[in-house]
Structure formats: C-alpha cells, structure tokens
Chain A
C-alpha cells in the first residue's frame, strides 16, 4: 500500500468505491481493513514522496474526489439509519422492561382492587 518506487499504487478511487460498497452491505471487517490501508497510505505520505510520486498521488486524489462525495453521502445515510435502529432498540428494551400495554392494564387493575391507591 506504500508509495515506494516500483510498487503498484492501488487507485485511491477504487479504495473509496470499495469502502462505499462495504458500508452499504455493512461489512465491518472489510471497512476496518480499508481503514488500516488508509493509515498505511497516510504514513507513506508523511515520508515526503518525490515529485513524481507526489504528482501521481495528487492526480489520484483528484480522481477519487467524486467517489469520496459518494462515500460521504453513504456515511450520512448510515448515521441516519443507525439513529433509527438505536431508537428502535431503545424502544424495544423499554417495552421489555416495563411490559406491553396488556401488562400495564393488568397492574392498573390490581392497584384498583386493593383499595389503597
């Protein structure tokens, strides 16, 4: 994944496109792998690549910009979907904890029958 001479550079565009696809199918393992790839790429960049490599990376970054926008949109949608799922989960847990309507009605009946409420 490095930016060393003689090594084939994976296209940044492909990397981002794959991340979008992995996020769509919620493939956590693949996303974690891709994040590690990015970390490695980031480390390589800090080593200050020569002018030729720098120009190649710049071209790749420009090409990947469109895919990056797509990825951002998928990430936004995921956040919204996750919010919905978390709310659902909380709602279901609340129901489990306090019981459903039937249970509520049952306890209300008990309270009414003991004469102390």
Chain B
C-alpha cells in the first residue's frame, strides 16, 4: 500500500479522529448535569503500519468509539458499601421504632408499653402496701388495678411488635417486587449490550446498567460477575443467581408459619437475603432477628411473672378462707405469653394475703410478704435475674444494639460518601484532576491516622487522670 494516498489517509484519519473527539467533548458538556452519565473519552486505535518505498510508517489512528471512564472495580466497591449502608439504615429505622415502644411518654397520662418498668414495680409494691393492712379492700383493689395495668402494657407492647413485624413483612415483599423489576431490566440491558457492544464499552447502555445495579444494591446484597461479550451475571451474596446474561430469575414468595419467605428457584433464600445486605437485608434482620428477640424477652417476663405469682397465690389463703386462685391467666407455654397476658381475677377478696391455714379475714399478711418478695427474687427463666432487672437489661440491650447499628451505619455512610467523591473525580463529567483527588484521599487518611494516634493517647491519659483522681 506504498502510495501517497496512504499518507493522506494517515492525515485525514487523524483529522477525523480529532473531530470525533470534539464530538465526545461536546457530548460530555451537554450531559454534564445528567444523573448517572459517565464522562466519555475518545479512544484512538493505531491502524496497521504502511510501507512507502520500503520504509515502514505508522498509519495514524482511528477513533474507535467513546469509552466511558468508569471502572467496575470502583463501582463494585461503591455498590458493596451501599448494600451495607442500606441494610444498617433499614435495620436502624426498625430498631428505633421498636425502641419507641419501650420509651415512656412523659407527656401521656395513660399507661403504655413504655411504662412496663414502672408497672412491674407498682404491681409488687401493691402487695407490699397490702402487708400493712391485709384486710383493706382498697389496697386489695390496688393490687388488681396494678396487675391490669401491667398486663395491658405488656400485651400492647407484644402487639406493637407483632404489628411492626407484619409491616416489615409487607415492606420486604414490596422490596422484592422492585428487585424482580430491576432484575428483568438488567437482563434486557445485558442482552442489548452483548448484542451491540460485545467488545467495547456500551456507553449510555452501560450507564443505564450501572444505574440499575446501584439501585439493586440499595435493595439487596448482590455479587457481580463479568462474563463474555460484556455480559454480567448477578447473584445474591450467597450465590443464588438473579440475572444470568439475558435471563432473570425472579424471587418468589410463600408463607411459612404465617411469615413470608423468599425463594430463588426452589431454594428458601430468606436467611441468606437477611444477612446479605441492602434494604431487604435490614428489613429481614429486624423482622426475623431483632423483633423475635424482643418478643422472646417479653414472653419470658410475662410467663415468669404470671406463673410465679399464681404459684405463690396457691400457697396462701384468700379473704374468704379459700386457697388462693390465679390472678393471671396461667400461660401454658412461654411463646405468646406476653401477647395473651391478662388478669383473670375480678374479686379483690381473692388475693391470698394470708398464709395457708390462716382463718378467713384473719389479717395475716405472710403470703402478701412472700408475693411482694417476688419482686427481688431471681428467676432461672429470667437469666438468673429478678423481673425488674431483667426488663431493665432488655431495654439497655436494645439501646446498645441501636448504638452499635448506628455506629455501623455512620461508618458505612462515610465510606459511600468517600467513594462517591472519588468516582466523581474519575467517572462523572468533572474538571477535578483524578490524581489530585487520590492525593487528597491519602492526605486525609494520613491526617486522620495522626488524629487517631494522638487522640488515643489523649483519651488514655484522661482516663488515667480519673483513676488517679479517684484514688487521691
């Protein structure tokens, strides 16, 4: 091809390439404010060399199409952090709703679930008051009233948790609907990308796919595997395939013991989806882990109070000289005790304040003393704690879990913010220099490390000061 035309081709090829590059720049400027749009750079590919009079010459460049400056590694890292952040965020919301159930409302005059701690104290204190005048009808009535308040608040708390569990169940179902829609869209995009750009960046299609992947990452924990011809396989974090090239596997739902379970194919993926991340992971963790833990604690509390009080009642004599009957409906099993907790005694004379064998209306208070002492009696069913301490620990534990999840969420949000900032310098239409952005990240990390080291030392010194102060 050793002709002068070859030389012209080199020159005109370069001019065409420049023109195409200008077109790409214009495109970037026009799309500068388009969400998800990725800056495109012109890709120049060397043509085969030409030989003129026996000498080899490079034959210039050809513009081979725009290539988006995204990097799947970075996008994958953002998606991964986004999944964690979405999960902890959804779980945190659920935990805060739970906590509000157990927070006393200072502005409310009526008793509510948040008053359970006080209810327990008031109930046992009512027996203590009865000790001073075991024949007093009003004091006996006070015992029944406080029992009613306690059962009502415990039962309402359990119902509140049950309602929240149902709401989370519905929320999870809705999220899975969105996951299925996105999976379908991603399979279609895969098909388009694989057929139109098997060897090159697919530009706007790739942007659309990345945007859908980001949305999917907020909803569910996923892994992305790049396949041949620019295809993509998407699995849940535990490996169930959601999208395989141009095919999507829908997540199906079914009730198991009244609770919605989620299936990929025939596999029940519910617990995997709970630990996988995304909004779905957070919702399912709250539904299947946090709420059942709280319900179990309430059930244990209700079961123990009802059975121990009824049992002590049976060891005394009531005002009419009969063996003490049940104050509470006797639970048959621990599960469900909180929700069904109720007072069955209606006559205050039924309270067995006197010891067994004591005469009717004797004024003996020895069984009332024993009933009152249950407040401070440790119970094996309550992890070796008395009822008040057990409830107090439960509330503290809930607060501690919230604090832990809040910490995770803050750190994950920060991580997403950092990565997004880095992506903006690399991928979106932005004038910032990528290298300078990385340098800034390094500088920030170094300064933060220095801050950490010094503060660690400051805190250790400050805590030691306290010990020295306490000693002196």
Contacts and interface: CB of A to CB of B under 8 A. Distances in A.
A81 to B, nearest CB: 5
A87 B401 CA distance: 35
B269 interface: no
Nearest to A34: B451
A109 B48 contact: yes
A46 to B, nearest CB: 8
Contact of B447 (A12, A35, A69): A35
Given A35-B451, A57-B462, A73-B410, A28 B443 contact: yes
Given A26-B441, A49-B465, A85-B74, A75 B448 contact: yes
B412 to A, nearest CB: 7
Interface stretch (B20-28, B128-136, B239-247, B418-426): B418-426
B415 interface: yes
A102 B410 CA distance: 44
Size band of the interface chain B makes with A: 35 or more
Contacts of B81: 77, 81
Interface string B421-465: 110001000000001001011111101111110110111011101
Contacts of A22: 444, 448
Given A45-B461, A75-B449, A85-B74, A55 B48 contact: no
Interface string A9-53: 000100110011111111110011011001101100110010100
Size band of the interface chain A makes with B: 35 or more
Of the candidates B419, B443, B451, B465, the one having the most CB atoms from chain A within 10 angstroms of its own CB is B451
B10 to A, nearest CB: 15
Given A19-B451, A69-B407, A81-B422, A61 B459 contact: yes
Contact of A77 (B411, B452, B468, B472): B411
Given A23-B414, A78-B415, A88-B73, A28 B48 contact: no
Contacts of A24: 413-415, 417-418
Interface in A43-100: 45-46, 49, 51, 54-55, 57-62, 64-66, 68-82, 84-89, 91-92, 100
Nearest to B411: A73
Contact of B448 (A23, A57, A84): A23
Contacts of A87: 73
Of the candidates B443, B450, B468, B469, the one having the most CB atoms from chain A within 10 angstroms of its own CB is B469
Contacts of A34: 447, 451
Interface in B27-86: 43, 45-46, 48-49, 64, 71, 73-74, 77, 81
Nearest to B74: A88
A88 to B, nearest CB: 6
Given A61-B463, A102-B45, A106-B46, A82 B407 contact: no
A54 B73 CA distance: 49
Interface string B111-140: 000000000000000000000000000000
Contact of A58 (B77, B415, B426, B466): B466
A117 interface: no
A103 interface: yes
B171 interface: no
B408 interface: yes
Contacts of A55: 465-466, 469
Nearest to B84: A77
Contacts of A45: 458, 461-462, 465
A90 to B, nearest CB: 11
A85 B438 contact: yes
B82 to A, nearest CB: 13
B403 interface: yes
B455 A82 contact: no
Contacts of B418: 23-26, 77-78, 81
A116 interface: no
B452 A72 contact: yes
Given A85-B422, A110-B49, A68 B459 contact: yes
Contact of A60 (B73, B444, B454, B462): B462
Contact of A32 (B49, B447, B452): B447
Interface of B: 43, 45-46, 48-49, 64, 71, 73-74, 77, 81, 403, 407-408, 410-415, 417-419, 421-422, 426, 435, 438, 440-445, 447-452, 454-455, 457-459, 461-463, 465-469, 472
Given A42-B458, A84-B74, A102-B45, 4 more contacts: A22-B448, A70-B411, A74-B411, A91-B73
CB-CB nearest 5 A-B residue pairs: A58-B466, A24-B414, A73-B411, A31-B447, A61-B462
